[in-house]
Amino acid sequence: MNSTAPSGLTGRIDEPPGRLLHDEVLAPQFRFEVEHLLPSYVAVEKVLALEYQRMGLLTADQARAVATGLASAGPEALTADPVANLSDLAFALERHVEATLTEPLPRWHVDRSRNDLQAAAQLMYGRQQVVEVAQGLLRLGVSLHRRAGEHLSTPMPGYTHFQAAQVITPGFHFAAFSGHVLHTLRRLLATYDAIDACPLGAGAMAGQDLPWDRARMARLLGFRVAQPHALTAVASRRWVLEVTAELSLFGAETSRFVTDLLAWGGSDLGFLDLPDELSGISSAMPQKKNFPILERIRGRSAHLGAFHTDALLGQRNTPYSNLVEVSKEAGTHLHAAIGAARSLLRLLTAVVDNLRFRTDRMLAACEREYLGGFALANLLTLREGVPWRRAQVLAGRYVVAAAATGRAPKDTDPELLAATTAAEGYRLVEPATLLREAFDVHAGLTARQTSGSARPSAVADLLAAQTLEYDELRAHWTRRAGADRVAAEETDRLLGLVPADAGLGLG
């Protein structure tokens, strides 16, 4: 234990943090915060200096001196020191600024707590990370949307219960994937707006003694509003749970789409291929071309669920107050969750941009499967008056009998169909026409009449609507991405760090 007392930071304890606590907990936390949260800490301290100036506790020159000292507080200038700053970033910043001042400022940091400062800095970092994830989602969505439009009329089998079921297209499938991305963007936007409430001014938990203008501080930090309840401001880290929950949900459904891509790229189907730079090999089997990038993507989607569970369990059954257990330990893997999500999005976008559909194999798969069985049953009812349930039975019997002969679906057998239905007393007028329409692959696409179906024109309509939604969401996210920058420029203008006419204003 270092017997040197902490220099002027506390009168409650006589010893600084021990080596074990410093090495295992405080120093790693300090390094993380310097790397990722320092800009937020500095922004908060600048706004606090402006508030001291507004309340008459600092002059304009003194507030500007504090801000100038903060501007020089780069990562290289800040070190976790158990004696000098208790290995705490807030104290390290305070010590650094004090060393740059030409005169002591006794009122600087009066009526202040680390609790709301740290809560504000963490939330600012979190909001920025959400914006960056949203930007990655937008890039993925645009890629999916573009590739969907390229394959509106390219037939491929759609599968239910792992069996070939109906004719669809890659465009139809990718439009669904694009819709999933849009849904996530909407939910993440709602999450961002719900957590966009500034904790600063809450103090330790019950508010502060001085008349801090919390609305102004929130605005100068780029927040929409101030968090209305002081205890919630410092006790709640629900925003970590909400963000990781959305990432977890996105990962779960994304894994299902990627599972389809894995199946399509397998040797049994061979519907898609990837360029060599996105592919792998087998060390033992030279005939194999593997796609481990898809496995990586699906694997990283699992991490998102695990990180959310970790954050959830870290907060469960803790008192509703400011706790290191909640504010730091329970959020330990937020950065990793964000990193996994952003990596997943980059990898998946590269796959979507570069994959090539093997249209010949997809068409051949459609032509060897009796995908028109459902259509045949419909036609038997609508054209020939066969009751629907019996039409289902008769269509199924025809498929079984025709498949047993080894003939392809397009090599229709009108006599077999007529005999199958005649056995139950139904005399068909045009069995050849029914079979030709039912088992024509391209007709299987155009026959769909409902909106949202695989019919090429229906998918095109859906993609047109998605285009408008992407444009709207991009505009929303662009505004939110710029909020911190505009606020920082306004803060620097008010502090006199930039010319007065450089401010953009906050409204």
Report DSSP letters for 315-381, one per residue. Answer: HTT--SS--HIIIIITTTTHHHHHHHHHHHHHHHHHHHHH-EE-HHHHHHHHHHS-TTHHHHHHHHH
Helix (H, G, I), strand (E, B) or coil at 272: strand
Q: Are strands 280-281 and 163-168 parallel, antiparallel or unpaired?
A: unpaired
CB-based contacts of 249, cutoff 8 Å, min separation 6: 184, 187
What's this model's pTM, rounded to 2 decimal places? Answer: 0.92
Q: pLDDT tens digit string along 84-115? A: 999 999 999 999 999 999 999 999 999 999 99
Q: Which tens digits make up the pLDDT trace of 123-160?
A: 999 999 999 999 999 999 999 999 999 999 999 999 99
What pLDDT was estimated at residue 105? 96
List pLDDT tens digits, range 268-309: 999 999 998 987 777 777 767 888 999 999 999 999 999 999
Q: What is the mean pLDDT of the chain?
A: 93
**What percent of the chain is modeled with pLDDT above 70?**
96
CB 310 within 8 A of CB 232: no
3-state helix, strand, coil in the chain (%, to 5): 65, 5, 30
d(CA 174, CA 146) in angstroms, rounded, equals 9
Confidence band of 504 (pLDDT split at 50, 70, 90): very low
Confidence of residue 371 (pLDDT cuts 50, 70, 90): very high
Structure tokens at 482: 């710029």
- CATH fold of 115-150+168-358+458-500: Fumarase C; Chain A, domain 2 (1.20.200)
| Residue 332 to residue 312: CA distance in whole angstroms | 12
Q: Name the 3-class secondary structure at 256.
A: helix
Phi, psi of 40 (to 5 degrees): -70, -40
356's tokens: 């090539």
Q: Which two tokens stand for residue 50?
A: 């402006």
CA distances from 241 to 184, 353, 438, 450 (A): 16, 32, 50, 39
Q: Residue 253: helix, strand or coil by DSSP?
A: helix
pLDDT band at 506 (very low <50, low <70, confident <90, very high): very low
pLDDT at residue 223 in the model: 97
Sign of the C-alpha dihedral, residues 280, 175, 478, 243?
Answer: negative
Task: Find all residues with CB under 8 Å of 383, minimum gap 6, and list them.
Answer: 429, 430, 434
- Report the range of poorest mean pLDDT among 139-143, 300-304, 417-421, 443-447: 443-447
For residues 217-252, one letter each, b for 16 or more C-beta atoms within 10 angstroms of the residue's C-beta and e for the rest, the string is bbbbbbbeebbeebbbbbbbbebbbbbbbbbbbbbe
- Per DSSP, 130 falls in state H
Give ranges for CATH 1.20.200.10 in the chain.
Answer: 115-150+168-358+458-500
- Amino acid (1-letter code) at residue 27: A
C-alpha of 74 from chain center: 30
- The better pLDDT of the pair 499, 306 is held by 306
pLDDT over 90 percentage in the chain: 90
124-128, 245-249, 287-291, 409-413: range with lowest mean pLDDT: 287-291
- Quote the tokens at residue 248: 């977890």
Q: Higher model confidence: residue 10 or residue 104? A: 104
